[in-house]
Amino acid sequence: MENWSLISLCVLLGLTSRWAVSFHSYSGAGKPPIFGDYEAQRHWQEVTYNLPVHEWYFNNTNNDLNYWGLDYPPLTAYHSLVCAYVAKLLNPEWVELHASRGYESHSHKLFMRATVLFTDILIYIPAVLLYCFYFCDGSSKQKVATALCILLYPGLILIDYGHFQYNSVSLGLALWGTLGLGLGWDLFGCLAFTLTLNYKQMELYHSLPFFCYLLGKCIKQGLTGRGFFHLVKISMTVLVTFALCWMPFLSDPKQPLQVLHRLFPVGRGLFEDKVANTWCSLNVLIKIKTLLSRETQLFLSFALTLLFVLPSSLKLLSKPTLWQFKLALVNTSLAFFLFSFQVHEKSILLVAFMLPLLLKDGLLLPYVVTSLAFLFLSLYLLSALERSTEEELRLGLYRKHTQHWLPKLNLMLSLCLLQFWFSLVAMAALSFTSVWLKPPAKLPDLFPVLVSVLSFLHFLGFIIYFNQVQLMEPQRKKSLKKTN
Amino acid sequence: TVMAAPMTNDQSCFFALALGVSFLKCLLINAYHSTDFEVHRNWLALTHSLPVPQWYYEATSEWTLDYPPLFAWFEYGLSHIAWFFDKEMLVVQNLNYASPATILFQRLSVIVADVVFFYAVKECCKCLREDKGKDLLGKPSFILTVLLLWNFGLLIVDHIHFQYNGFLFGVLLLSIARHFQNRHFEGALLFSVLFNLKHIYLYIAPAYGIYLLRCFCFTQSNADGSLQWRSFSVVRLVTLGTIVLSTFAVSFGPFIALGQLPQVLSRLFPFKRGLCHAYWAPNIWALYNIADKAFSILGVKFKLLDINKLPKASMTGGLVQEFQHSVLPSVSPLATLVCTLLSILPALFRIWHRPNGARGFLRCLVICALGSFMFGWHVHEKAILMAILPLRCSSDVFCIITESTYLLGLIPLELICEFVYPLTVWQKTFPFLPLMLTSVYCALGVTYAFIRLYISLLTCSDNTKKIKTQ
């Protein structure tokens, strides 16, 4: 079968599953007065269309920041503006100032879902396809299989087409950035990444690896010669892109400050809701939220994040290869997620363990179906279990250090397999209990907390493992798939 | 690196495809469902709550039982499981009852019943000739599996609109597969069961009848393929007859004993419904209607006809009723029956005269299905599925329906219907226009396919021994 036919089939399958998930409920459906993320996006269309730019991030009678005020960088606002223009063409009632609050209808849902699909097709899917074809090993069929698995990743589908968000834009742009760097088009990669940074400030998680990789590359080329010019070009690209994105906000010094204030709400506390990071999990044992003052919390989270981010960034700086870059992406984003301030659970689009959130949105069925399908598909197509040989897992290094107290060769492998199955079983069991059982009265948040703690332990394991892989990489290179 | 091991195994590939499509079906559980959903809920309710003698008399709901008794028994069996999901759906008076549990149960019943379809497809794949050493994605069995399991027409009708066609087609395909495997008794049994589940399969009964008579009851043919009268086997004929009759006895028996046969038949064959369904099936009568409309408009324009004498337009009103044509002669049920018979006679004659084994049977079956679709009375557009699915199995005529230019023409048609038309002024005056355009365009395509298929059947050679590769 031709490559093109296979690729088209994959894309069409991905699109079908996305659209099938969008039949289901969205965040805050039918839940006045606050509703949910869906209403937030609709509200931003209303605000950006009806109000002048300098009022978008400010609190006034026309723009109540307490009701889903804009808290993403300007590019999201511009995107909402474009959507608002289309909405106005189709049905002006959707973006009527004030009057359209809480507007819900079948055609509006269709429109909103269509906007997500449109940006997905435009940005995310081409990036995934290009990535699989240029940066993955194996026969073309295996590349297509990888593309299919990535496209069917439940986390992104459920959040974007179920809960309702535009993560495909930011992740897609970040992926374009990675592609740019991989193909040697550093300026293009920079441009793409700066754009995604201006779309969602969450992408700061990925900024350090980009910075270290490019800086390291420039240093390698010699800071007195070509490297310097390269550095200048990169900096100019970044600055110009920032300037263009923030141009409407640069006229008045108060504007950028207010925008930053909205983007980084340090007033909100160490964490909200149940997040699978250190602070939330630690809070189960020690109530740090109440024990420590706000300043101490900030300092602690900053320090720990830095601590966990430094080794991998330094390694990348000294050895700017693509493989290191990918590992650093994983490590730094995990570190940021686990330790930084005011992390939202959606920042963890790494693992599909957002069950409590999805349950709240009435998305149980899509969650079960897409997770099962994804699991089955990745096991089947990629034979994940078969290929988790010791060498592939880079456990050889572990073995060297632990040889004297773990003599059995296969033990590590079996341990890993055991752990994999255990994780699966735990995930299934927790899903089941969250849905069917009632928690005891004294511990009403039992299941969400269990879910976050379990996920946290997984992520801790991941960050240790990936750091070890990155830091102890031997001289010879052997690329594996990026597991981001 | 080599492709992961499981992919080279046909079994696991089939399983993956089946599981994948089932997952997709699960995602469609909450999608739109049509009145057919209420139809089946009503039948669950009435078979569960009412005693057997009342099944075909019950008329609280407008959706009366109009499938043969075996399907009623099937619904009766399902209703016992439904009891555990939501008892309220089994109350006959609860019209249009659609609680989440009801929807879940009904959708799941279709998904689970599709297991029959999966099994049948597997059996069909076994009948295909395989080329050894061909890459998996190029193998006929893989392609056939994908085309049948992931058939989007079937997905839309069964899992969105809501029907049990997958299950029924499974029985049909299994019957065909058994004939290919020379297990004719089983094939005959399966077909009589199928007919007692949904009587629309009456359309293809002639193909079965002629084929079994010619190829099975006459055990041998002469060297040139013509009939050898002396090889007639009475035993086989009698066995076949017994099988068919006993199936009918099990299905209709109770109702014959109760003296309800006329009532059952009147429910099964409601001729008061009109030549065309509300949404015209793309058959000959759609083209006939268009021609009639065109002539009447032209006639009025050129003052050949008096506009007051013409019947008011209701064939395009989207309603289901009897109707008179304005210019061309009106069509009666008898006329359609005669046309249908005439259209399938050459094919029947062909397989009687020069049978081509099971392949010829399959083609004749498709022609019977298409013929009755083309000329039948009150045809649903869903009936085209009956022709398409067996056509898939007949791999060497598959290329007919992929004439690219024609299919590409569907794109502008859809664009016009969905985007251009709503913005024009015609939307108010001719609300039926896009549907009519779609029906007519598809009717042309179906007619073309029918003619080409016929030509292919009538001119094919009698080589049952020659290996045909795709």
**Angle formed by the axes of helices A364-382 and B10-27, nearest 10°:** 160
How many other C-beta atoms can be found within 10 angstroms of the C-beta atom of residue B392? 19
Which residues in chain A come in under a pLDDT of 70?
Answer: 1, 266-277, 288-289, 341-417, 419-420, 435, 439, 473-484
**SS3 assignment, position B102:** helix
- Answer yes or no: is A36 within a domain: no
- Asked if the Cβ–Cβ distance from B20 to A369 is below 8 Å, we say no
Q: Which of B7, B21, B23 to mutate to test the interface with A (most CBs of A within 10 A)?
A: B23
Question: What does the alpha-carbon distance between residue B48 and residue B72 come to, in Å, rounded to a whole number?
Answer: 10
Q: Whose structure tokens read 């590590």?
A: A412
**SS3 assignment, position B379:** strand
What is the tally of structural domains in chain A?
1
Of the listed ranges B45-59, B179-193, B364-378, the one predicted with least confidence:
B364-378
Best CA proximity match to A350, nearest among A263, A198, A458: A458
Beta bridge partners, B379, equal B276
The secondary structure of residue A203, as a DSSP letter, is: G
- State the count of interchain CB pairs (< 8 A) between A and B: 57
Question: What does the alpha-carbon distance between residue B126 and residue B362 come to, in Å, rounded to a whole number?
Answer: 16
- Answer yes or no: is A100 within a domain: no
Percent of chain B predicted with pLDDT > 90: 18
Helix (H) or strand (E) holding A191: helix A186-197
Q: Is A379 on the interface with B (CB under 8 A)?
A: no
Helix (H) or strand (E) holding A110: helix A106-119
- Asked if the Cβ–Cβ distance from B135 to A23 is below 8 Å, we say no
Best CA proximity match to A237, nearest among A284, A297, A187, A202: A187
Best CA proximity match to B175, nearest among B158, B156, B194: B194
pLDDT value of residue B403: 55
Question: What does the alpha-carbon distance between residue B106 and residue B110 come to, in Å, rounded to a whole number?
Answer: 7
List the end-to-end C-alpha distance of chain B, in Å, as a whole number: 30
Summarize pLDDT for B116-146 with one digit per residue, the tens.
Answer: 999 999 888 888 766 666 666 777 788 888 8
- Answer yes or no: is A444 within a domain: yes
Contacts of A24 in chain B (CB under 8 A): 30
A410 burial type by CB count under 10 A (0-12 exposed, 13-18 middle, 19+ buried): exposed
pLDDT value of residue A244: 92
Q: Is A401 on the interface with B (CB under 8 A)?
A: no
Best CA proximity match to A214, nearest among A202, A228, A203, A201: A228
- Asked if the Cβ–Cβ distance from B5 to A1 is below 8 Å, we say no
Beta bridge partners, B221, equal B227
pLDDT value of residue A403: 41
- Answer yes or no: is A430 within a domain: yes
CB contacts under 8 A, A 309-368 vs B, are 365-366
- Asked if the Cβ–Cβ distance from B27 to A21 is below 8 Å, we say yes
Q: Which residues have C-beta within 8 Å of that of residue B169, sequence separation ≥ 6? A: B117, B120, B154, B385, B386, B389
Using CB atoms, pick whichever of A17, A24, A142 lies closest to residue B30.
A24
Q: Whose structure tokens read 């031709």?
A: A2
Q: Residue A421 is part of which domain span?
A: 363-472
Rounded to a whole number, what is the distance in Å from the CA of B31 to chain A's nearest CA? 6
How many other C-beta atoms can be found within 10 angstroms of the C-beta atom of residue A254? 12
pLDDT value of residue B312: 56
Q: Is A377 on the interface with B (CB under 8 A)?
A: yes
Q: Which of B1, B12, B27 to mutate to test the interface with A (most CBs of A within 10 A)?
A: B27
Using CB atoms, pick whichever of B2, B27, B137 lies closest to residue A20.
B27
Helices (H) and strands (E) in chain A, counts: 21, 0
Q: In three state form, how does the secondary structure of A287-329 look?
A: CHHHHCCHHHHHHHHHHHHHHHHHHHHHHHHHCCCHHHHHHHH
Rounded to a whole number, what is the distance in Å from the CA of B135 to chain A's nearest CA? 8
- Answer yes or no: is A394 within a domain: yes
Q: Is B20 on the interface with A (CB under 8 A)?
A: yes
Best CA proximity match to B214, nearest among B195, B232, B197, B193: B232
Contact B174, B121 (CB under 8 A): no
Tokens found for residue A317 = 């700086």
Question: What does the alpha-carbon distance between residue A418 and residue A437 come to, in Å, rounded to a whole number?
Answer: 27
Rounded to a whole number, what is the distance in Å from the CA of A109 to chain B's nearest CA? 14
- Asked if the Cβ–Cβ distance from B20 to A142 is below 8 Å, we say no
Using CB atoms, pick whichever of B4, B24, B137 lies closest to residue A383.
B4
In this structure, the dihedral spanned by the alpha carbons of residues A362, A368, A370 and A371, taken in order and rounded to 10 degrees, is 130
In this structure, the dihedral spanned by the alpha carbons of residues B319, B167, B9 and A480, taken in order and rounded to 10 degrees, is 50
For residue B217, is pLDDT > 70? yes
For residue B76, is pLDDT > 60? yes
pLDDT band at B42 (very low <50, low <70, confident <90, very high): very high
Q: Is A138 on the interface with B (CB under 8 A)?
A: yes
- Asked if the Cβ–Cβ distance from A365 to B27 is below 8 Å, we say yes
Which of B75 and A448 is assigned the larger pLDDT?
Answer: B75
- Asked if the Cβ–Cβ distance from B7 to A381 is below 8 Å, we say yes
The secondary structure of residue B425, as a DSSP letter, is: T
Tokens found for residue B314 = 């209701």
What residue type is A163 in one-letter code? H
Q: Calculate the alpha carbon distances from B457 to B361, B376, B461 in Å.
A: 10, 21, 9
Question: What does the alpha-carbon distance between residue A82 and residue A75 come to, in Å, rounded to a whole number?
Answer: 11
- Answer yes or no: is A224 within a domain: no
- Asked if the Cβ–Cβ distance from A20 to B24 is below 8 Å, we say yes
pLDDT band at B191 (very low <50, low <70, confident <90, very high): very high
Which of B201 and A336 is assigned the larger pLDDT?
Answer: B201
For residue B393, is pLDDT > 90? no
Best CA proximity match to B284, nearest among B448, B402, B154, B413: B448
pLDDT value of residue B469: 36
Using CB atoms, pick whichever of A17, A23, A383 lies closest to residue B6.
A383
pLDDT value of residue A273: 58
Handedness of CA A74, A77, A79, A85 (dihedral sign): negative
**SS3 assignment, position A343:** strand
For range B355-363, the mean pLDDT: 80
The C-alpha angle with vertex A148 and arms to A144 and A154, in degrees rounded to 5, equals: 160
Using CB atoms, pick whichever of B3, B12, B30 lies closest to residue A141.
B3
CB contacts under 8 A, B 112-151 vs A, are 135, 137-138
- Asked if the Cβ–Cβ distance from A380 to B24 is below 8 Å, we say no
ipTM above threshold 0.95 = no
Summarize pLDDT for B411-457 with one digit per residue, the tens.
Answer: 666 666 666 665 565 666 666 777 777 777 778 877 877 887 788 77
Percent of chain B predicted with pLDDT > 70: 75
Q: Calculate the alpha carbon distances from B158 to A265, B165, B372, B382 in Å.
A: 50, 6, 22, 10
Q: Is B27 on the interface with A (CB under 8 A)?
A: yes
Contact A279, A288 (CB under 8 A): yes
List the end-to-end C-alpha distance of chain A, in Å, as a whole number: 29
pLDDT value of residue A478: 39
pLDDT value of residue B9: 66
Q: Whose structure tokens read 């995604």?
A: A196
- Asked if the Cβ–Cβ distance from B20 to A17 is below 8 Å, we say no
The secondary structure of residue B420, as a DSSP letter, is: I
pLDDT band at B396 (very low <50, low <70, confident <90, very high): very low
Q: Which residues have C-beta within 8 Å of that of residue A267, sequence separation ≥ 6? A: none
Question: What does the alpha-carbon distance between residue A74 and residue A80 come to, in Å, rounded to a whole number?
Answer: 10
Question: What does the alpha-carbon distance between residue A228 and residue A235 come to, in Å, rounded to a whole number?
Answer: 11
For range B321-344, the mean pLDDT: 76
Q: Is A105 on the interface with B (CB under 8 A)?
A: no
Best CA proximity match to B141, nearest among B177, B165, B184: B177
Which of B179 and A141 is assigned the larger pLDDT?
Answer: B179
